[in-house]
Structure 1
Amino acid sequence: MHLLVGPLKIFEAAARHNSFKLAAAELNLSPSAVSHGIAKLEREIGAKLFDREGRKLALTLDGKVLHKPVEQAFGLLRAGLLSVQSRHAEVLRLHASPSFAGQWLTPRLQAFLNTHPDMAVQIAADTDYTRFSNDDFDADIVYGDRDFSGLSAIPLGHERIVPMCAPALAERISGPGDLAGHTLIRSSLKTITWEDWLAANGVTAPTGAGMRFDRSFMAITAAADGLGICLDSTRLAERELRSGRLVELFGDEARHPIDAQHYLVFPHRNEERPAVSAFKKWLLAELAKTDDQQPSA
């Protein structure tokens, strides 16, 4: 019977979503693997669990009878694991986009821990988007619109996207038209591009040299090192702007687009977890506080 734990987990997700496709996305499996897992479970227990009519999926009577205890069993298992964890420090296992983690979150992490001394934080910041399939993470901070089916997704507010460069370079630039001939630094994953900014300000795209990075923190660092002009979030470049390594160009003389693509994401089942709840409350309060210090868009 122990061999059925995997198929039972697949069954629980498929029954909850009423969809093999959504169950596959949650469990990071292919729809075919989900279908095979259900078929294996049906063979083992000798009962049909789903009625399939075209693309529609519905639990049979046997499926409904089985779903409730399976759902309760996994709930008890999660509660048991949380009870064991609660005997020690409450651990928040967080995944975050690399630039947000390195540029904004890490410098503030001690403030969160100071207000929650009974908690610990583990952070991973690779480039993969977690779907919480193996319960490796409690929450994720992601950039860009995704499929948030089955998840709580909380927008993390607006970010001003402005041209920034080192002070020495800024002295040679008085208006958007002066961008021609200077190196434009591009972040390839940003939803707002240099072409968007230039078009919004009525400037023809320069034909000069450029460089491209796939992460904002690299583009910001390159600009702070005097390699060119980056177009990025003042939230992510907060430390460099405050220290004077970067300065904003043009101020109110130009139109600066607004980005709103960062989200705090977690499974609905983690909503009441003390670590997730505390982090969500702190994160939103900290963002509101720092955003109030930024110039209005």
Structure 2
Amino acid sequence: MARQIPPLSAVRVFEAAARHLNFTRAAEELAMTQAAVSYQIRMIEDRLGTPLFVRSGRRVSLSPAGQRLAPAVTAAFDRLDEAFAKVRLAESGVLTISAAPGIAAGWLGPRLARFQLAKPDIAVRLLASHELVDFARDEVDVGIRIGQGEWPGLRAIEMFGAEFTPMCSPAYIDRMGPFTDPAQLLDTLRMNSDDVWWRAWFAEVGVAVPDDLDRGSIHVDSQVIEGMAATAGEGVAMLTPRFWPFELATGRLVQLFPHVGDGGSFWLVYPEHKHGSPKVKAFREWLMAEVRAG
């Protein structure tokens, strides 16, 4: 059944006039003329069939009907104010991002201070985990995922390629190298050698791998730890060059061979219904500008 409520604009005028008991002040608050305020009040009175104000010269007071109506209308607007404030806070307060530890530590994390400077009204919470979040259940606004960009119900925007290649420290090369043939890496201590990226890279460079490729490997749960171990001279790690620019530039890590494997792409993802969210829009535009800047 349709609600039997006068136009909300007219109800808003009544609430302001009842609060001020002055049509001129109500008009100033609402940026209207006094004539427009009087017109909106008469519209409600005509629909109700009873006056809401008692006019005496330049003074107005609430009629018995107005006295009954005003507290309920004010309370209703207070509840609306509270509801909209909560939504505004949710949309502009905290942006929660989910990303794998590798890209969180190696690429996104070092850049987030620039986003905070650009958008100081948006706080950021970065969750570094390999687990794919359930946007319908978890309190997460956006995520960064690796793959082909096909996740039902999610908007996916490609960032850059998920490239990978073997790296190690100069000390490890001095101890175990030099490495001139990719097949030599079969006899090295490899980090997470059961990772599909190792098999993919060996296949792309034409090296046949044994079934027990992961024998004697060091197993860790993130590229961050792999890279740290490789930097410390503990072995060879399959890493994403984009995540280790400082180590490569300073020679703390060495890319052993020119070939870089293709693991798909990294994607910014979020539910379709969040596409118009102000904080998601702000982060999306900033993130893609960072991607374009390299």
TM-score of the aligned structures, taking structure 1 as reference length: 0.61
Is 1:271 the counterpart of 2:278 in the alignment? no
C-alpha deviation, 1:129, in angstroms: 1.6
C-alpha deviation, 1:242, in angstroms: 3.1
* Match for residue 235 of structure 1 among 242, 251, 259: 242
2:189 corresponds to: 183
CA 1:170–1:79: 2 relative to 1, 3 Å? farther
2:170 corresponds to: 167
Aligned letter for 2:128?
Answer: A
Partner Cα separation in structure 2 for residue 96 and residue 180 of structure 1: 31
Partner Cα separation in structure 2 for residue 236 and residue 187 of structure 1: 19
Contact 1:217-1:236 within 8 A present in 2 as well: no
Partner Cα separation in structure 1 for residue 205 and residue 125 of structure 2: 42
Aligned letter for 1:184?
Answer: R
Partner Cα separation in structure 2 for residue 91 and residue 272 of structure 1: 16
C-alpha deviation, 1:161, in angstroms: 1.1
Q: What is the CA RMSD across the aligned residues, in angstroms?
A: 2.8
Partner Cα separation in structure 2 for residue 228 and residue 103 of structure 1: 19
Contact 2:149-2:157 within 8 A present in 1 as well: no
C-alpha deviation, 1:165, in angstroms: 0.3
CA 1:272–1:214: 2 relative to 1, 3 Å? same
Partner Cα separation in structure 2 for residue 110 and residue 102 of structure 1: 13
1:197 corresponds to: 201
* Match for residue 112 of structure 1 among 111, 115, 118: 115
C-alpha deviation, 1:79, in angstroms: 6.1
Deviation per CA, 1:39-63, whole angstroms, max 9, x where unpaired? xxxxxxxxxxxxxxxxxxxxxxxxx
Q: How many residues align?
A: 208
1:257 corresponds to: 261
Aligned letter for 1:228?
Answer: G
C-alpha deviation, 1:230, in angstroms: 0.9
Is 1:95 the counterpart of 2:78 in the alignment? no
CA 1:244–1:145: 2 relative to 1, 3 Å? same
C-alpha deviation, 1:246, in angstroms: 0.9
What 5-or-longer segments of structure 2 have no aligned partner?
Answer: 1-81
Partner Cα separation in structure 2 for residue 226 and residue 248 of structure 1: 14
CA 1:78–1:96: 2 relative to 1, 3 Å? farther
1:4 corresponds to: none
Q: Secondary structure at the match of 1:163?
A: strand
Contact 2:164-2:197 within 8 A present in 1 as well: no
C-alpha deviation, 1:179, in angstroms: 2.2
C-alpha deviation, 1:233, in angstroms: 1.0
CA 1:117–1:195: 2 relative to 1, 3 Å? same
Percent identity over paired residues: 31
Q: Secondary structure at the match of 1:158?
A: strand
2:222 corresponds to: 215
What 5-or-longer segments of structure 1 have no aligned partner?
Answer: 1-76, 291-297
Aligned letter for 2:291?
Answer: L
2:289 corresponds to: 285
Partner Cα separation in structure 1 for residue 203 and residue 151 of structure 2: 32
Rg: which structure is higher?
2
Deviation per CA, 1:68-96, whole angstroms, max 9, x where unpaired? xxxxxxxxx9966322446xx53212122
